[in-house]
């Protein structure tokens, strides 16, 4: 039967397209192929990734809180109570990720090793090592520890910025001290903040099971690359209900490099107070969308002031990265190193413009409150730390430290309190506190912001 030329041409074209499609189709990922070539499995990838995750156990000595009467020297002498502090030993379990096999660096959560007297690391092959602390960053809840060992396997870093909701991920850790355990799930959400878990929040949310003991462990993609450090869960009684959070690997890597180099994170300061752009503010500023962080105040002499930023400016980008809210701006600036130049894109009077700001080391204003007034002895006051949950939302002076049993402690001051007024006078700095205290006669009236609430303290 004769086939018309047009039909032959069409058949040839279809065959060519089919051949090209088959040739271009990617081969099935090797980590999803079983031994017989047809059974899906993650085993090949995990064989490479598991040695990079370690179990961490710590021991620490904690002073047992006792009745205030026992702190009274007269009471102790009268009842012949020995002057020996009551202490108990505490143990905790967690996980860590080997990030440098040659130098033995391990990345974990700060809360896993915080205040530990002894840190033990157990490798996948069963070897045990004592670790030393290289550096910690409580505001992001990360820490770097180090062991002296040979034959280590490090997990390669992945690009957490490339993650998308729906990507498959695997969590590796030591839940409930059971030993190394693997769970899988997907990325449920990105950029989670405002949870009050850490000072700087930009979490990856996942439904891969994360339980107590998983803290500091690895969240990896299907290529076995580290995309997050498992940190926290939300659930009743601390159990897993499919809502877990991990610190993005790009943020963790930035922090890690500073901890290894300096032993601490040297955060920069922009020098502004900010808030989210609400729909009402968006309409007031003539914005198309309620997106960005609006500057509510510029601190005189700060990098922002020198660069020409003004109250009412709406920050929408930092170094090309979009800023959706105040938390995004706080994270972006807080992760920049001192001396770095930031390109900040703002909207002012309906027009976009870019301002270059040289990030400066943040003010370390600190003062012993006892030197201001003996009734406040035992407390240390200073500027509100950028990582504080109320940073950028209120003006005042933060209580940075309070010694247990001191006059300040007995008066009711606690670490993290924000003093917004003294004797009905607004305070923005330690100098303001000094002036307000001098003008008080009978006692001190402090207006305190604590968590989501507020209270007054009367100190006589």
Q: Please write the tens of the pLDDT for every residue from 122-181.
A: 999 889 999 999 999 888 889 999 999 999 999 999 999 899 999 999 999 888 877 888
In the numeric block, which tokens belong to residue 180?
A: 């190394």
d(CA 64, CA 236): 27
pLDDT value for 435: 86
Question: Confidence band (pLDDT; 50, 70, 90) for 14?
Answer: very low
Name 448's bridge partners.
419, 455
Q: State the catalytic residues.
A: 111, 141, 215
pLDDT value of residue 169: 94
Q: Which helix (H) or strand (E) holds 78?
A: helix 73-78
Secondary structure element (H or E) that encloses residue 281, with its range: helix 279-284
Distances (CA, A) of 301 to 305, 308, 333, 336, 456: 6, 11, 17, 19, 32
Average pLDDT over residues 433-450: 85
Sequence-distant (≥ 6) Cβ neighbours of residue 418 within 8 angstroms = 384, 388, 390, 394, 396, 397, 398, 399, 448, 449, 450
**Backbone angles phi and psi of 9, in degrees to 5:** -65, -40
pLDDT at 20: 39
Q: How confident is the model at residue 362 (pLDDT cuts 50, 70, 90)?
A: low
Residue 56 CA to residue 174 CA, distance in Å, equals 8
For residue 321, the SS3 value is strand
Question: Per mean pLDDT, which range of 24-28, 301-305, 349-353, 443-447 is the poorest?
Answer: 24-28
CB 327 within 8 A of CB 194: yes
CA distance 408 to 372: 12
CA distance 269 to 338: 8
Looking at the chain, the whole-number percentage of residues with pLDDT higher than 90 is 35
pLDDT at residue number 84: 54
| Token pair belonging to 417 | 């309190």
Do 186 and 204 contact (CB within 8 A), yes or no? no
Please list the residues that pair with 289 across neighbouring strands: none
For residues 329 and 274, the answer to whether their CB atoms sit within 8 Å is yes
> Which single residue is written with the structure tokens 């693997």?
182
């Amino acid at each position: 039967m004769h086939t018309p030329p047009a039909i032959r041409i069409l058949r040839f074209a279809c065959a060519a397209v089919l051949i090209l499609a088959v040739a271009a189709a990617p081969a099935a990922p090797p980590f999803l192929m079983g031994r017989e070539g047809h059974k899906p499995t993650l085993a090949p990838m995990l064989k490479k990734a598991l040695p990079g995750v370690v179990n961490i156990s710590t021991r620490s000595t904690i002073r047992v809180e006792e009745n205030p009467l026992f702190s009274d020297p007269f009471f102790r002498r009268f009842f012949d109570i020995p002057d020996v502090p009551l202490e108990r030993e505490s143990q905790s379990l967690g996980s860590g990720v080997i990030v440098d096999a040659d130098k033995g660096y391990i990345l974990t959560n700060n809360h896993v090793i915080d205040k530990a007297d002894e840190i033990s690391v157990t490798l996948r092959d069963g070897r045990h090592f004592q670790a030393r602390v290289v550096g910690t960053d409580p505001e992001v809840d990360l820490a770097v520890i180090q062991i002296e060992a040979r034959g280590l396997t490090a997990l390669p870093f992945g690009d957490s910025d490339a993650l998308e909701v729906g990507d498959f991920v695997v969590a590796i850790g030591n839940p409930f001290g059971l030993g190394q355990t693997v769970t899988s799930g997907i990325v449920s959400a990105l950029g989670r903040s405002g949870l009050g878990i850490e000072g700087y929040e930009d979490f990856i949310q996942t439904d891969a099971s994360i339980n107590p003991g998983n803290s500091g462990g690895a969240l990896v993609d299907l290529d076995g690359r580290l995309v997050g450090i498992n940190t926290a869960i939300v659930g009743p009684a601390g159990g897993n209900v499919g809502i877990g959070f991990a610190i993005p690997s790009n943020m963790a890597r930035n922090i890690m490099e500073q901890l290894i180099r300096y032993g601490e994170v040297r955060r920069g300061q922009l020098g502004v107070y900010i808030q989210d752009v609400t729909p009402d503010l968006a309409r007031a500023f003539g914005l198309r969308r309620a997106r960005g962080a609006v500057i509510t105040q510029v601190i005189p002499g700060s990098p922002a002031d020198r660069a020409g930023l003004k109250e009412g400016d709406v920050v929408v980008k930092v170094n090309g990265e979009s800023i959706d809210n105040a938390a995004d701006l706080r994270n972006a600036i807080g992760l920049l190193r001192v001396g770095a130049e930031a390109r900040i894109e703002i909207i002012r009077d309906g027009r976009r413009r870019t301002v270059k700001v040289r990030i400066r080391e943040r003010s370390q204003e600190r003062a012993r409150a006892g030197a201001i007034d003996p009734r406040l002895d035992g407390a240390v006051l200073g500027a509100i730390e950028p990582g504080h949950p109320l940073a950028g939302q209120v003006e005042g002076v933060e209580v940075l430290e309070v010694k247990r049993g001191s006059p300040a402690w007995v008066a009711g001051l606690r670490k993290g309190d924000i003093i917004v007024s003294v004797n009905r006078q607004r305070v923005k700095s330690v100098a303001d506190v000094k002036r307000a205290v001098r003008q008080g006669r009978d006692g001190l009236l402090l207006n305190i912001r604590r968590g989501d609430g507020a209270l007054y303290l009367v100190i006589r």
